[in-house]
Structure 1
């Protein structure tokens, strides 16, 4: 619930920031008449995200176990790819987000068509919506506790709406640069865990070699799949289920925060480690390279460093 709450809060606030920029710009231009069309696009984007979630949730019931695991693994890989792209996109394009959105809105207004404004609202929110849906679906499959996970996501989204509204009203100020930096770092860890879960799904489906296939190394003493260094690379890396039961609170917390499972394969551990190290290094380098100088800090042009109130009054 905590993990999905933070994801819902982070992704929801990003969407709220985008919508806030569009609404403030239309009001500044005196084009309140265009707001209903833009909101229609936002509503379509939300409906698309909900529709994808419903298809993923209910469409898998008629599939075989192997097919479910294969689709789940591939969609989890897609979610990891989208999250990774979003993390680095925010680092690179955050400073020009406002200008990019406003220029797109200018083009839509100049065209004057109904669909142009609907498309602006739709495209601005659809990416965050689809990304959030895939990530939450992958995490729900991993946790196996859909009600709590979905409740956490809904609370996070509701919190994002409230915070976005308070920012727009000037009732609260938030260092969005620091907020997105910390939550992006958290998403790196979450994405590593989702990647490890995707590997497990693909191994269970037989798409990757592992403990569930003929490639599994067998312990000659017990006759079970091997565990430890002797089982590398297609066996179990470790098995601490006797100490941390899979259905315990600790197992759930560790899996939700760092992607740790009481029993993991060598391919899972390798995928988690490689992703965390490689993406983490590039993420930290991006954070350091984006540190503002004293002069630049006096003119915050980045929407991720200024509040929605400042953007609306600009």
Structure 2
């Protein structure tokens, strides 16, 4: 097998694709938040507050970079076994973040725009520092989740700088899309986008969970490291294009332990069920006792899909 097949383009693409999707989704969520804040102050004729919003965004980005570097570089200064332990724990934290992210977004999308506008209204009355703080917290929350998630993902795929590059490319694409959305140049069905990327990320998270379980088994924190569910290594070429793609995106390996398989199956079954249930279209039922003027239909479209202004 050539060196390219063993660790070249397919593996790099797989590692960058998974992190790029994370960057695109998280970047677009952050872009929507910033878009709502900017649209509100512009329509409120308070353009003077824009500099405080951008200052808050810049501070949040700087905080995210520092957090990522501290955690990521910290794993390179310890022993191999300790690094394995940190990687395993970081993977479990990453799984918790993905789970919260996809499930929270399903519920919060219906009122996130109204909440942000209310908070910005109060911040404008208080002053510029309050606007800065609101932008910092709104963007910093998404960014902090992304930083922790990327640590777990990067450790699980062991791709060096490639996952980070994929993340940055995904964020750049998200920024471009956010600008085009704000200017009305493009339209995007946010419900469909977050639905399908959410399903994909659930399977990515299941792979990260399996990796974390194996890492903790290696250091002795979990039992069953020698109890394999199956082993298809003789018939499965990990250095092939499909092997590197499946390993790079979903952390698939041909010799998982029983505990890894159980954890993967339970996670997908439980989280995917809750996610799909939360994203089912809501049906409105006509109520004869209420007049059309007083009846409030259930929301069927996320607020982020409507005009943020």
More off after superposition, 262-271 vs 131-140: 131-140
The match for 1:177 among 187, 191, 203 is 191
- Aligned-pair CA distance for 1:128: 1.5
**CA shift digits 1:143-187 (9 cap, x unpaired):** 222233222211111110010011011111111111111111111
> In 2, distance between residues paired with 1:134 and 1:244?
32
Q: Distance in 1 between matches of 2:73 and 2:299?
A: 49
Query: Measured at CA, do residues 259 and 130 of structure 1 come closer, stay the same or move farther in structure 2, by a change above 3 Å?
Result: same
Q: Provide the TM-score with structure 2 as the length reference.
A: 0.86
Cα distance change of structure 1 residues 57 and 3 upon mapping to structure 2, 3 Å threshold? same
Q: What's 2:168 paired with?
A: 154
- For 1:1-314, list aligned pairs within 5 A: 1-112=16-127, 114-211=128-225, 216=226, 235-288=227-280, 290-291=281-282, 302-306=302-306, 310-312=307-309
SS at match of 1:207: coil
Q: Are 1:244 and 1:250, in contact at CA under 8 Å, matched by a contact in 2?
A: no
1:232 maps to which residue? none
Dislocated runs of 4+, deviation >4 Å: 292-301
- Per-residue deviation, 1:115: 2.9
1:294 & 1:249 partners in 2: Cα distance? 51
Runs of 5+ consecutive residues of structure 1 not aligned to the other structure: 217-234
Paired with 2:101 and 2:107, the residues of 1 have a C-alpha distance of 10
Unaligned runs of 5+ in 2: 1-15, 287-295
In the alignment, is the contact (CA less than 8 A) between 1:108 and 1:116 conserved in 2? yes
Inter-partner Cα distance in structure 1 for 2:143 and 2:283: 30
Supply the RMSD in Å over aligned alpha carbons: 2.2
TM-score by length of 1: 0.84
Whole-Å Cα distance in 1 between the matches of residues 48 and 283 of structure 2? 38
Name the SS of the counterpart of 2:303 in structure 1.
coil
How far apart in 2 are the matches of 1:140 and 1:294?
47
Alpha-carbon distance, 1:258 to partner: 3.6
